[in-house]
Amino acid sequence: MSTCVTADETLTAALARMLAAQIAPPATILLEGPVGAGKTHFARAFIRARQGDAAEDVPSPTFTLVQTYDDPMGTQIWHADLYRLTDPSELSELGLDEAMEEAICLIEWPDRLDPVPPGAWRITLAPEADPDLRRITLDLPDAERLAARAAFVVAAGQAEARVVPLAGDASARRYFRLPGVGVLMDDPSGSVAPFLAMTDWLRGRGFGAPAVLAQDAAQGFLLLEDLGDDLVARVLARRPDLAGPIHDRITDLLIDLHRQPVPDFVAPLDGPALGDLAALFVEYYPDADLPGLPALIADLHDRLCADLPPAISLRDFHAENLVWRGDAPLGLLDYQDAVAAHPAYDLVSALQDARRDVDPAMEQAQIARYLAATGAAEAPFRAAYALIGAQRALRILGVFARLAIRDGKPRYLDFMPRVWANLQRDLAHPALAPLAAMLAEVPAPDAALRERIARCRP
């Protein structure tokens, strides 16, 4: 994909920093343009961004032909200026041929290359009539989105900020940390508006959603307060002794959340909607030819979940979307899909986590804590909890299979056995006997079945 940008020095450097955040070795970037177009300025910003706090001076390699650098991730960066190259055979003497096979190579005057390496990314800089501007053509994957991200960061007043990629999720959203500034969320899916609405609602009631520092909702960009790296999942992994206090805080958060009137801008997650979501299991999970599954889940929801009014549900409410901040309110992430659902929904989401094991005794203790604080009747709540747990497990199994088969993301298949175990515990509740009977012949996701799913991927 190619895109063109008119840029001053500030935006040129921001483009370089944004590219540095998303590129991985081996990669070759061809920097084209006449003398004075800004090729070295671009390369310098790129290299210093990769080096972060250990950034060095980056002189022009006009006379040395090649300068090499190392970044903290162990990647070698080669910056070459081939203007003075008299014969392509000199490339082997420089070692550039081998470097292009394993390093990140920024090459000025790449017309001296013969041949041009396959798969190289091309950036062309050309002067404009205004001497402070240049026309930059980016010929590389995701070029238009990269340019828009860089322009947003500049418009937000953070042009000099370093950009560091953060782990994403199964969605199209991408996250980048601007150290000392905040977190850039890039969401091309159109869910920025509901995220902003829920952020205002949560923060207005004292919950730990991040502050919005800058926004361009139309393009899908937000600059958010950085809540830190202490995801609850990470804290529990390194401090298992905190499992009790942390789970108490999670349950107490839900208790407080469910005391709030449901906002009028969230959609209901009722029986038919839950059934429709479980249809993913029928569509993608092997040997799950169960056309009646959605209707059965909808019917069970009508029978088992009518005892309590819907409450606000953040939906993706689990330990990797919660941030431990000591005595401060738990930080909240990824809540743009909030709905009005049975109050058990987020409790199930937290205690039947696809990504980590939760001690069954801890699960039962937190259910009891929630019941004691809310006064909900125990028997119907537990029946609803089991149904919602089973529905979520079926949907998640379908999602993980789809991610492997349709999207080429097989890594989620490793979570399937844990989700299946949660499903079996939920199906043991007597109220779910019809659902257990329907699923009795569906195979478990053992290693052979997971391999079978993985072989179906594109």
Judged by phi (left if over 0) then psi (alpha if -120 to 50, else beta), residue 375 lies in left
DSSP letter (8 states) at residue 333 = -
Topology alike, domains 2-159 and 232-455: no
- pLDDT value for 23: 93
Residue pair 365/359 in contact by the 8 Å Cβ criterion: no
- pLDDT value for 170: 57
DSSP letter (8 states) at residue 231 = B
Q: Residue written as tokens 């082997």?
A: 92
Q: Hey, what amino acid is at 439?
A: L
Tell me the sheet residues that pair with 66: 80
Residues 6+ apart with CB under 8 A from 200: none
Angle between helix 378-405 and 447-455 (nearest 10): 50
For 28, counting Cβ atoms within 10 Å of its Cβ (0-12 exposed, 13-18 middle, 19+ buried), the class is buried
End-to-end CA distance of the chain: 22
Tell me the sheet residues that pair with 7: 134
- pLDDT value for 457: 63
- pLDDT value for 168: 66
- pLDDT value for 169: 63
Residues 6+ apart with CB under 8 A from 442: 285, 287, 288, 290
Question: What's the chain's average pLDDT?
Answer: 94
Q: How far apart are CA 205 and CA 335, in angstroms?
A: 15
Q: Measuring CA to CA, how many Å separate 7 from each of 133, 152, 249, 423?
A: 5, 13, 48, 54
Q: Under CATH, what is the fold of the domain 232-455?
A: Aminoglycoside 3'-phosphotransferase; Chain: A, domain 2 (3.90.1200)
DSSP letter (8 states) at residue 18 = H
Q: Which residues of the chain have pLDDT under 70?
A: 168-171, 457-458
R_g over Cα of the chain: 26
Q: How would you classify the pairing of strands 104-108 and 2-7?
A: unpaired
The number of residues in the chain equals: 458
Q: What is the CATH number of domain 2-159?
A: 3.40.50.300
Runs of H (alpha helix) within 377-455 = 378-405, 416-427, 433-438, 447-455
Q: How far apart are CA 213 and CA 165, in angstroms?
A: 19
Q: How far apart are CA 8 and CA 286, in angstroms?
A: 55
- Secondary structure, 3-state, 339-395: EEECCHHHHHHHHCCCCCCCCHHHHHHHHHHHHHHHCCCHHHHHHHHHHHHHHHHHH
| Per-domain boundaries in the chain | 2-159, 174-224, 232-455
Residues 6+ apart with CB under 8 A from 285: 397, 398, 401, 442
Closest by Cα among 309, 313, 301, 304 to 340: 313
Q: How far apart are CA 403 and CA 419, in angstroms?
A: 15
Helix (H) / strand (E) element for 60: namely none
- pLDDT value for 118: 86
